[in-house]
């Protein structure tokens, strides 16, 4: 399966600390994307990193990609209570023919305590 697997499943930290979430996948990808979901709501796109990129930044977010290890990490620096949410990685790969599709993992539930 192409499905990404996030690790850990749950993470609880104090406000101001950094949070690191990891994603591993099994086959070659075109790009990898990270999404965030607040409880019972839709997903919000955070960052897209292409297979030929190694690192990307967006505000307090830093994403790395290691295609040789088939893994990615999402780092949130100086966390805030508002960062409490589930975080998903999604791998983009060909699904057959010329079509591409995203396959999501089960997510990491991040709780940031005030």
Partner 1 sequence: ETGVTQTPRHLVMGMTNKKSLKCEQHLGHNAMYWYKQSAKKPLELMFVYNFKEQTENNSVPSRFSPECPNSSHLFLHLHTLQPEDSALYLCASSLQLLTSGSYEQYFGPGTRLTVT
Binding site for partner 1 (CB under 8 A): 3, 30-31, 33, 35, 40-45, 48, 88, 92, 95, 98-107
User: Under 8 Å CB-to-CB from 3, ≥6 apart: which residues?
Assistant: 25, 26, 91, 103, 104, 105
Smallest distance from partner 1 to CB 32, Å:
11
Residue closer to partner 1 by CB (options 33, 72) is 33
Residue number, 16 or 57, with CB nearest to partner 1: 57
């Amino acid at each position: 399966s192409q499905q990404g697997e996030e690790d850990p499943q749950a993470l609880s930290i104090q406000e101001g600390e950094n949070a690191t979430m990891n994603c591993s996948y099994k086959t070659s990808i075109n790009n990898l994307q990270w999404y965030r979901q607040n409880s019972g709501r839709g997903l919000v796109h955070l960052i897209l990193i292409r297979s030929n990129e190694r690192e990307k930044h967006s505000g307090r977010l830093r994403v790395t990609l290691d295609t040789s290890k088939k893994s990615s990490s999402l780092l949130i620096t100086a966390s805030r209570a508002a960062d409490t949410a589930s975080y998903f990685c999604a791998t983009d790969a060909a699904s057959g023919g010329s079509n591409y599709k995203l396959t999501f993992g089960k997510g990491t539930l991040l709780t940031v305590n005030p």
